[in-house]
Structure 1
């Protein structure tokens, strides 16, 4: 994340309060933003603004920074809630907020951070951005609902198309589509219609790579617990593909274990399931789907940016998007 962006987030969020209870709330609100992160979404927005004619430090740049801060605050309050919903252990290499302070306090801190997100949007002073932010929230909530409902209802009769529908909504809009559109909007340019199709494809590729890294990634680089998706019963493309060819015995073992709450899952059974997944070729198949989504998204994005006035910024967007969709860590 750019230092000037983090500084704006710091100036927006309250720091101290005479009541120690509220002082704790303020510290909790600052926790996830201060942990850092790659800042990919805000960087895509700022690069899109540059590509569409907003010069760094020039007219519109301050608005672009506040829109980028809006995205970062959105991601952080959503992550707090997401970690609670998934009962996750870690976030960015540290205990998840609800693990440190309990669910009620973490939930309230996420709600408070959500309110400050709108404060950042107000500071941007770009009325056209409101509909983009609302679209982002609507689509992300729809995708999150699919993800959670499948777990809540114990639903495993799903296929690759179901998974792709979910991740395009949950990941594609707030990770790629809306950042690119907001960058054009702050420059006073009508966003290219191909940003949406490109963004959902790139977002799908990004999420599939994330699912792969959750199984085989390096814990220090990944920032979350390895194998957490299995413990949380996530419906990933890898698992859904494996279930199509798993033996009856393997399938029954899997479904029995997935029906248990996280705290009751057995380490040795999860290890066995992980070995079955890795031996099945499902990880490689998922990587191939991610490759196809990435290539399609990058081709569309290149077309969408071909008329951008700042060619260097446009090329940087393409390089960043490629790294996002083909990442290995």
Structure 2
């Protein structure tokens, strides 16, 4: 059996370390692992590969892979894979969803606490050696998460972890997911389908975007949806920038209809230095790093190893992707 490993990416963190490739070779000595370091090598080596561990593939690569039977994405998002071509060939697709869920949930809550407890103001004052106790009032007053309403768009692995954390802070959580009829977790107050989005946004103090980016979620949150939130609500996006209409979000922030935003993803990345988001006082910007942690690749390779054993034994694979749904 041959496995092609191909994770070339503009951000080095998302490229599988050589040490992890060695780990796979030691764990499966009877499997050939080929680590492609550029597009040309990937196109050549996929020709006789049975499995691909990849962050991305092209239609041409799939066409050149007559033996290919399974692709495992090193990420949770699979939109960069040619899902239609893979499905047409009956090639199984799995992803790494869940690996980043706890880390991303911590990121959501950390950013939210920065704005709720006004750490943005106190840290700035600290650098200037200013004691601003008397300035923390009115719109600048810290506020408590306890008893507030949170709506999570996308109640998958990440959304569930956000909900679990939020409940511990006393937030009341409404989750939106494609299959609302599935059992409701005890730490989620209400689960609704996408057709009830408007209802779920009404009275919302914190809106968390954790959904996959698919045609149905493109610009899902626009001016009308933002207007349904409570005045002063916080928007947190750790999914994909294009799920939110960035222009309308900026307008809502500037007019203080939104109380703030925690943004890890943007329409275009890196975020343009000319973007007004950089200078808005009520915005926390992070560089698409909500899932980053030192042991990330340990868990990705552990998941892939588990699935490789299942694949060899003809057992059901974990984290199968619905190629029609796109996630």
- Structure having the higher strand fraction is 2
Structure possessing the higher radius of gyration over alpha carbons:
2
Q: Which has the higher contact order (CA 8 A, sep 6+)?
A: 1
Shorter-chain TM-score range: under 0.3
